[in-house]
Amino acid sequence: MQRIINFILRYRNAFLYGFLTFVSLVITVRSHSYHQSKFFNSSKWLTGNVYNLSANVSSYFGLREENTRLVQENERLRKMLFNSNVDGPESIDTLSLNYEVMSANLIKNSFASPRNYITIDKGEKHGVTQDMGVITTKGILGIVENTSNNFATVQSVLNTKSNINAKIKNTNYFGSLVWNSEDYTVVQLVDIPRLVPLVVGDTIVTGAMSSIFPENIPIGVIKKYDLNTSRSFYNIDVELFNDMANIKNVYLIMNKNKEEIEALEATTANE
Amino acid sequence: MNSVIFLNGFRFILLILAQVLIFNTLNFMGFINPLVYVIFFYWYPIKANRAIFILVSFILGLTIDIFSDTLALHTVASLTVAYTRPLLMRFCFGVNYEFQNFSFKNTTPIQRLTFLGLLVFVHQVVFFSLEILSISHFVLILKKVFATGIVTLVLCALFSSLFSPRSE
């Protein structure tokens, strides 16, 4: 017994190293396949506030550019509004809307690692919940993964765990949007059947199969495509509309019917 | 003794802030984010308790992981660097390092640079292997290790000459 204790004491550093490494390796491997850790993420009080402080300072440098982008979007939306059958913003019946939109600022961006998470400055206090869709003026950005009182982390489309339903615009052929972690301007659309006629430059938009995003939110254009190894589905490279390295303002989308849809799907799956 | 704790605590916080607020957002050439906090392991007192050193490195790695949402990658890399540091020191400075009066002052700059380079190399290899965790992406790991490693080494060498500690 004495010798065992002596042995442990002699190699205590090695044991300590082994133990701590084991713990962190378990966490690492888990983070590769499961959701982000609920307790340790950058939406928490300390990390969120540090990023918020830094974003408060650095956001001044991009104000002019950001302003132009927002005015351009307003211009586009005005054009759509005037050319549609709706009489004006006042005539929209807010009770019958399916989607609610909320704006937020990005306080931490990341696009260089294989699993990128983005932190935004809206949290539970403002009504943000898990699995809300996040878009920018140009296109899709990601899905809310964890929330704290004042902040939330977003799983970016540039995340190897991300899997979003997408389709080719004006058709009903849909596939899954994934990322191979090689280039932050290009994501991959898989599971599009071989018989679909494709052209480089076709627009890819979100599909109707998800309860997170509304249909027809722009994602990107087809950059190149080829058949996969089984030669029955396409692997399509999609160039994103968003410049993932330069994002300031984002919109959160809340589907008001989401709970109903999910409850219905759950009962159907159980039967 | 107190000044040593204070100095290292101060460094600890400053390096975390520098890493998460400046160097993690650098994205030089699209993907190079130098991991400059490795210099903490270079500056840490040589004669200090090893168990505490390993614990401190665990906390350092974990804090950076929480900030950058890369849970436990930085932790494993930091732990490995902290554990292998005595080995690397013996390799770089020879038996001199075992003596009581050893300090960085009576080593050559080449020895110090080799030591720093090895610390950075061990850290990068562990970090990127775990980040990508796939043998089929071996070339990608190699590319990231060397590109980021060289930038990190240059920055760390600059830092070590800019803020060289006098009292230790």
Domain positions in chain A: 2-27, 45-87+101-160+245-256, 164-240
Cβ–Cβ gap B30/A184 under 8 Å: yes
- The answer to whether the Cβ–Cβ distance between B61 and A24 falls below 8 Å is yes
CB A222 within 8 A of CB A199: yes
- pLDDT tens per residue across all 271 residues of chain A: 888 888 888 888 889 999 999 999 888 888 777 777 777 777 888 888 999 988 888 888 888 888 898 899 899 888 988 887 766 666 667 677 788 899 999 999 988 888 899 999 999 999 899 889 999 988 999 999 989 999 999 999 999 888 899 999 888 888 999 998 888 899 999 988 888 888 899 999 998 888 888 888 999 999 998 888 888 888 999 999 988 888 888 999 988 888 888 888 888 877 6
pLDDT tens-digit profile of B30-78? 788 999 999 999 988 887 788 899 999 999 999 999 998 888 899 999 9
Sort out which chain A residues have CB atoms less than 8 A from B76's CB and list them. 21, 24-25, 28
Contact A47 B67 (CB under 8 A): yes
- For residue A178, give the 3-state DSSP assignment: strand
ipTM of predicted complex: 0.84
Superfamily of domain A164-240: Rod shape-determining protein MreC, domain 2 (2.40.10.350)
Instruction: Please tell me which residue of chain B has the smallest CA distance to A19.
Output: B79
**What pLDDT sits at residue A271?**
66
Pairing of β A233-240 and β A140-147: unpaired
Question: Which structure tokens are listed for A18?
Answer: 């082994």
B14-35 confidence digits (pLDDT tens): 999 999 999 988 888 878 899 9
Pick among 2.40.128.280, 2.40.10.340, 1.10.645.10, 2.40.50.140: CATH of A45-87+101-160+245-256:
2.40.10.340
CA distance A133 to A142: 6
Q: Which tens digits make up the pLDDT trace of A174-229?
A: 899 999 888 889 999 998 888 888 889 999 999 888 888 888 899 999 999 888 88
DSSP alpha helix (H) spans, A34-166? 45-58, 63-82
Cα(A207)–Cα(A215) distance, integer angstroms: 5
Q: How many CB atoms lie within 10 A of CB A261?
A: 12
The sign one gets for the Cα dihedral A161, A165, A169, A173 is: positive
| B120 membership: H or E segment, kind and range | helix B109-132
Q: At A153, which helix (H) or strand (E)? A: strand A152-159
pLDDT on residue A27: 85
DSSP string for residues in B45-98: -TTS-HHHHHHHHHHHHHHHHHHHT-TTHHHHHHHHHHHHHHHHHHHHHGGGGG
**φ, ψ of residue A112 in degrees (nearest 5):** -95, -15
Beta carbons within 10 angstroms of residue B85's beta carbon: 22
Q: SS3 for B39?
A: helix
| Closest alpha carbon within chain B to A14 | B83
Subunit contact A16:B20, Cβ cutoff 8 A? no
| Whether the Cβ atoms of residue A132 and residue A254 lie closer than 8 Å to each other | yes
Which token pair is B109? 């700059």
List of chain B residues whose C-beta atoms are within 8 Å of the C-beta of residue A31: 71-72
Dist. CA B143–CA A184, nearest whole Å: 16
Residues of B with CB under 8 A from a CB of A: 17, 20-21, 24-25, 27, 30-33, 50-51, 54-55, 58, 61-62, 65-73, 75-76, 79-80, 82-83, 130-133, 140
CATH topology match: A45-87+101-160+245-256 vs A164-240: yes
Cβ separation B83–A17 shorter than 8 A? yes
Interface test mutation site (partner B, options A11, A19, A21, A25, max chain B beta carbons within 10 A): A21
The DSSP letter of residue A120 is E
Closest CB to B72 among A12, A31, A41: A31
Place of tokens 């005037």: A82
CB contact under 8 A, B54 and A113: no
User: Which structure tokens are listed for B114?
Assistant: 């080799």
- Does the pLDDT value for residue B168 go beyond 50? no
Instruction: Give the span between the Cα atoms of A101 and A95, in whole angstroms.
Output: 14
